[in-house]
A and B are shown apart, each in its own frame.
Chain A
Amino acid sequence: MSSANAPDLTRDDGRTRREAVVRLVFFVCAVLSVLTTIGIVLTLLSDSVAFFAEVSPVQFLTGTSWSPANDPVNFGVLPLVTGTLVITIGAAAVALPIGLLTAIYLSEYASDRARSVLKPALEVLAGVPTVIYGYFALVYVTPALATIFPTIDTFNALSASLIVGIMIIPMVSSISEDAMSAVPDSLRNASYGLGATKFTVSTSVVVPASVSGIASSFILALSRAIGETMAVTIAAGNTPRLVDLTDPAGVFLNSIQTMTAAMVQLGASDVTGQSIAYKSLFAVGLTLFVITFAMNLVSEWIASRYREEYR
C-alpha cells in the first residue's frame, strides 16, 4: 500500500477560505452599526467645532435668546432647552401615570384574551407616524382645548405635549409590563397568603419589586419625548421663548420652540453651505444627541441591573 492511494481526509475545495470570507462579510454588516454611531458623532462634531470657533460654548449654553436667521443673530440654546423641557414635562404628566396603570392592568388584572387584544392596540399608538400626530394636535386637539382655554394660541405647548404623551404611552407600558411579568409569582402568593387584595399586591409588591424596570421605561419614554420632532414642530410652533415661570398658564397655552423644531426650521430654510446658521444646526443636534444618548445609556444600565435581580 503506497501512501498515495490513501483517501485524502483533508480535502478542502477551498471551503475553509469560503467560510472565512462569509464570516467576514457578516462581521462587516455588524460593524456597520458602530460606523453609523461614529459617523453621527463625527458629523455632529465637525460642524459644531466650526460653530464654537465663532460662538463661544458659554454663550451658546447660557444665552437666553435664539434668533439664528434674523438680525441681530443670537445663538443662546436656553429657550430651546426650556421649550423641550415644557413638552417633556407635559408629556410625562400624561404618559407616566397612564403607562404605569396600563402596565399594572395588563400584568395583574387582564385576562389572556383581553391582553391579546389590548397589547396590539397599544402598539398601534406607537406605530402612527408622528407627522400625523402633529396634524391631529393642530387640527383637532387645539380647537377642542380652545373651548376650555379661550386664550390658547393656534400653536401651543399644551396640545403638543398631550399628543406626545399619548404617543409614548406604549413605551412606558410595554417595558414596565415586561418588568412586572418578571416578578416571581412566589412574591405575589406570599402577599395573597397574608390576606392581601390584588390592589395591595399590585401596589405594595409588584410595583416595588419591578421599580428598576419601571424607572428604565420612564427614562426611555422621556428620551423619546425629548427627541420627538414632527408633532411638536407642527403643533407647538416656532417661537423660541424662555419659559416665564411667573405666568404658568402662559407656558402651556402659548407657542414655544423645542430643540427639534428649531432644527427643522433651520433645515427647511435655505441656510446652506458654511453659514453660521447652518453650523448652529449641528450644535443643537449635538446637544440633543448628547442628552438623549445619555438617557438611553442610563435606562439600559438600570434595565440590565433589574435583569440580574430575578433571572
Chain B
Amino acid sequence: MATDTRDSTSFERVSRAKDIAFEYLTLGATLLGIVALAVLLSYVAVDAVGWLNWQFLTSPPHPMPEKAGIFPALVGSIFLMLLIALITFPLGVGAAVYLEEYAPDSRLTKFIQLNIANLAGVPSVVYGLLGLGLFVQLVSLGYGSLLVAGFTISLLILPIVIISAQEAIQSVPDSMRQASYGMGATKWQTIKNVVLPESLPGILTGTILALGRAIGETAPLIMIGAPTTVFGVPNGPLAKISAMPMQIYTWAEYPDKAFQHGVLAAGVVTLLVVLLSINSIAILIRNRYQTQS
C-alpha cells in the first residue's frame, strides 16, 4: 500500500511539472513573435533618430542620403488612400447589404460568398497582374497612374471590406428590422433608416482597417509599373504616382549604409506612424460605439 501511495504522488508530481512546463512553453511561443517584432521595431526606431525630421518629410527623393525625402510618396499614398476609400466603401457596403439583406439562400449566393472568401486569399502580386492586363493594357489608363493604382488596390481590399461590413450588418438585431417593417417601411427604407445607421460604426472600423492594409501594399504597384522615383506630387488622375511602400522598396535596393540604416529607417517609421494613426482612428470609432451601446 505504501509503495502505491508513493507511486501515485510521484506520478502526480511528474504530471504537474509537465503541466507547468507546457504552460510556460505555450506562453513562450505566444510571446516569441510579439517580442521579435518589438525588438525589430525598437531597432528601426533607434536608426531613424536624426534622419526622421521636417526636411525628410518635405523633400523629394535625392541620391544623397542627407537630402533625401519622402514627400512625393507620402502625398501619393494619401491621394491613393482617398481614392481607394471612395471606391471600396460604396461597393463593399453595397455587396454586404445584398448578401445580408436581399440574397436568397440559393446556390448563386453561396457561390458569391465562397468567391469572396477565396478572393481574400489571392496573393496581392496576382492582383497586380490583373491591374496590368486590365487597366494598363486593355483600358490604357497608363503605367503607374493614380487611377490604375487606385482601381487595382481597391479590388484587392474589396473582399476584406465586404466581409467586415457583413459582420457589422449581421450584428444589427432582427427586432429593429421588424419594428421598422411594422411601421410600414419598405425594405430599402428599413436598410437606409435602420440597418445602415446602426451598423455604420462597425462598417467604418472594418473599412478603415482595410485601408491600413491598402497603404502598405507594394507588389501591385510594382506590377502596374509605378515608377521607382517620383519628384513631384500627382497633378491629375492619370499622373504617375509613388507611394511610401514603393519608395521604401526602392531605397532597400541601395547598398549604401546611410540609406539602409538612416533614410530607409526614417521611411519605415513614417509609414508605420501613418498606419498607426489610421488604425487608432478605427479603434476610436469602435470604442466610442461600444460605450454607447
Contact = CB atoms under 8 A, between A and B. Distances in A.
Bin the interface of chain A by size.
Answer: 35 or more
Contact of A267 (B30, B225, B275): B225
B124 A46 contact: no
A139 B95 CA distance: 42
A18 interface: yes
A70 B152 CA distance: 30
B36 to A, nearest CB: 6
Contacts of A257: none
A23 B116 CA distance: 19
A78 interface: no
Contacts of A220: 121
Contacts of B125: 227, 229, 260, 263-264, 285, 288
Most buried by A among B98, B111, B271: B98
* Interface residue SS majority, chain A: helix
B150 interface: no
A282 interface: yes
Nearest to B15: A197
Given A26-B98, A127-B279, A101 B252 contact: no
Interface in B268-283: 268, 271-272, 275, 279
A23 B191 CA distance: 11
A129 B275 contact: yes
B98 A36 contact: no
A104 B134 contact: no
Interface string B68-108: 00000000000000000000001111110111011100000
A134 B267 CA distance: 13
Given A18-B188, A25-B94, A135-B264, A30 B123 contact: no
Contact of A166 (B33, B91, B119): B33
Nearest to B111: A34
B26 A129 contact: no
Interface string A242-272: 0000000000000000001001100110000
Nearest to B116: A33
A264 B15 contact: no
Interface string A1-45: 000000000000001001100110111111111101101100110
Nearest to A274: B137
A147 to B, nearest CB: 15
Interface stretch (B171-179, B200-208, B216-224): B216-224
B118 A260 contact: no
B123 A131 contact: no
A234 B19 contact: no
Given A134-B249, A282-B133, 12 more contacts: A30-B98, A33-B116, A33-B119, A109-B26, A109-B27, A129-B271, A129-B275, A131-B252, A203-B22, A228-B123, A229-B124, A233-B219
13 contacts: A30-B112, A33-B158, A40-B127, A43-B130, A108-B26, A131-B216, A132-B272, A140-B40, A197-B16, A198-B22, A199-B19, A224-B121, A289-B122
